[in-house]
Structure 1
Amino acid sequence: MALSGWIERAGERLGTRGAELRLALRVTIAGVLAYAVTRFFDMPQGYWAVITAVVVMQASVGGSLKAAVERFSGTLAGAVYGGVIAALIPHGSAVTLGLAITAALLPLALLAAVRPAFRVAPITSLIMLLPPTGQTIGPLASAMDRVLEITLGNVVGVLVAVFVLPARAHNLMTDAAAKVVSLNADLVTVFIDELTDAQTGRSALQKIHPQIRSALKKAEAAAEEAARERRTHLTEAPDPEPLIRTLYRVRHDLVMIGRAASAPLPAPVLDRLRPSLTTLHQTTRALLLNLADALRHHTKPPDAEAFRAALEAFTRDADALRADALVRELPGHAFGQVFALGFAFEQFQKNLGDLLARTDELAAERTKTPPGS
């Protein structure tokens, strides 16, 4: 019974790691396939093709393409330059080998520092000088073998990424974007709690803000890979940049709302605004959570009419405060806080509308229907 329970729990955990399991399977297939190809062609240093195929394999096709291009360019630069150094500088003794290593490393290390895409170039150059095989078959032949094997590994890695359980970068991007939007819903709740409860602190923000920044970085990185997939015609998905820009604009709007919500509202103001503020909170949170689900599943975005109506009601109540004699006796910063909150929510509404439109475009691409239809 204990063993069956453990197996069941392990199965449940693995079931939530579908993306990780697919990546592990692609890495394994790429390594084994590269090894089989090198054995078929009887390559003397075929292990480099196996290593490259494993290194190239990333979470998405776009990421694998980037890794393959960087691996190839760095290897080509390192192999050519390292081969030239090995041919021109005798390195039979420890002293001359040290000089050759210095001559091989310094310019390539500088190149890698300036252009991170060439970060494997110094390593490849060292390999050209250090292993006995390179000295046995000659520097030029070793350089040619190295480039050929790395190229083979790149090809195998990219092919496996494309055809074996491919993980499109657009899906990774929308998953990260959905995470951002759902965290935004939690953020709105924290802000409203601060406005309505004097005992509420800002400790929750110390947890939510880093999570949002992390999710935004993941979405931005996936968007870069998605753009690479589009440039290589591996996908017909919409341009990912508008979605990322809109997420950052919404993020800025929420920062403005947070500043307006940095202190609880005075009791007379809160008594007047609590009903409409509560409705605005509920509709905003519901809209953001439903929008996150739409992004995650590439479905049509939710209707924002309830949110718009709630914002209009809150704006009317805020405007009505000007005619209230009791409220007018309060300090001016109380009015400023209310109207800053209303202005921030209006800006939030505009950018949220853009986010809904981007979500509609993604859903339309999945179903091949015109956006908004």
Structure 2
Amino acid sequence: MKLWTWKRENLPSLSHAFRTALAATISILLGRLVGLPEAYWAAIATVVVMQSPLGDTVPLAIERIVASALGASIGAIESTYFGPNLFVFALATLLLGLISFVLRLEKVGYSYACITLAIIVMIPRAETPWIAAAHRFAEVSLGILVALAVVAVWREERRLFENTTAK
């Protein structure tokens, strides 16, 4: 009995692995260059975006940036007025779901907003919540933009029809 199934087109190729490694490294380097305190969030965002299906990369990237802004904003408000209160965190997560529904963000965007919210609210920090939120938004947005740039410059070869060759 198999515990999982797989599709050939979803397996990472050597080229995809190199592209992802390059993009994640560029994200960290740029994050450090501009002085972002936790540049690894840029690399994490890059890796996530690099796994998107080719045709969905740009729309999902835009949705993730919008969702990160929402999660960071709600997280900063919650942290400023309530701190890491689990009841308020649950309400904020619900609020993000309602906002995502109104804005027609898909589950991918909603999950990004919730992840950003959790990072802002639940991780103790020395800086004010608004500074932490701005840093997270900048780091994640940088990672998404680097992924888009690498995907635009270094396209993966895809055949229109499987198992065909030119004659």
In which range does the TM-score fall when normalised by the shorter chain?
Answer: 0.7 to 0.9
Corresponding residue for residue 162 of structure 1: 152
Shift of 1:112: 4.9
**Aligned AA for 1:139?**
P
Superposed CA offset, 1:327-372 (max 9, x none): xxxxxxxxxxxxxxxxxxxxxxxxxxxxxxxxxxxxxxxxxxxxxx
Corresponding residue for residue 81 of structure 1: 74
* TM-score of the two chains, using structure 2 as the length reference: 0.78
Report which structure shows greater RCO (CA 8 Å, sep ≥6): 2
Larger Rg computed on CA atoms: 1
Between the aligned partners of 1:101 and 1:119, the Cα distance in structure 2 is 14
Superposed CA offset, 1:93-115 (max 9, x none): xxxx1232122211113445763
The yes-or-no answer on 1:62 pairing with 2:55 is yes
Corresponding residue for residue 122 of structure 1: 114
Shift of 1:59: 6.0
**Aligned AA for 1:66?**
P
Shift of 1:118: 2.6
Q: Which runs of 5+ in 1 are unaligned?
A: 1-17, 92-96, 180-292, 300-373
**Aligned AA for 1:101?**
F
Shift of 1:22: 1.6
Shift of 1:140: 0.8
* Pair 1:90–1:151, CA change in 2 (3 A): closer
The yes-or-no answer on 1:47 pairing with 2:35 is no
How many residue pairs were aligned? 154
Q: Secondary structure at the match of 2:66?
A: helix
Q: Which runs of 5+ in 2 are unaligned?
A: 1-10
Any conservation in 2 of the 1:33–1:156 contact (CA below 8 Å)?
A: yes
* Structure number having the greater helix percentage: 1
Any conservation in 2 of the 1:60–1:167 contact (CA below 8 Å)?
A: no
In the alignment, which of 27, 31, 39 is matched to residue 38 of structure 1?
Answer: 31
Shift of 1:62: 3.1
The yes-or-no answer on 1:106 pairing with 2:99 is no
Shift of 1:131: 0.9
**Aligned AA for 2:57?**
S
Between the aligned partners of 1:83 and 1:47, the Cα distance in structure 2 is 20
Between the aligned partners of 1:38 and 1:156, the Cα distance in structure 2 is 11
**Aligned AA for 1:38?**
G
Between the aligned partners of 2:128 and 2:24, the Cα distance in structure 1 is 28
**Aligned AA for 2:140?**
I
Between the aligned partners of 1:162 and 1:142, the Cα distance in structure 2 is 30
**Aligned AA for 1:71?**
R
Q: Kindly report the root-mean-square deviation, in angstroms, between the aligned alpha carbons of the 2 structures.
A: 2.7
Any conservation in 2 of the 1:34–1:50 contact (CA below 8 Å)?
A: yes
Q: Percent identity?
A: 25
Q: Secondary structure at the match of 1:120?
A: helix
**Aligned AA for 2:38?**
Q
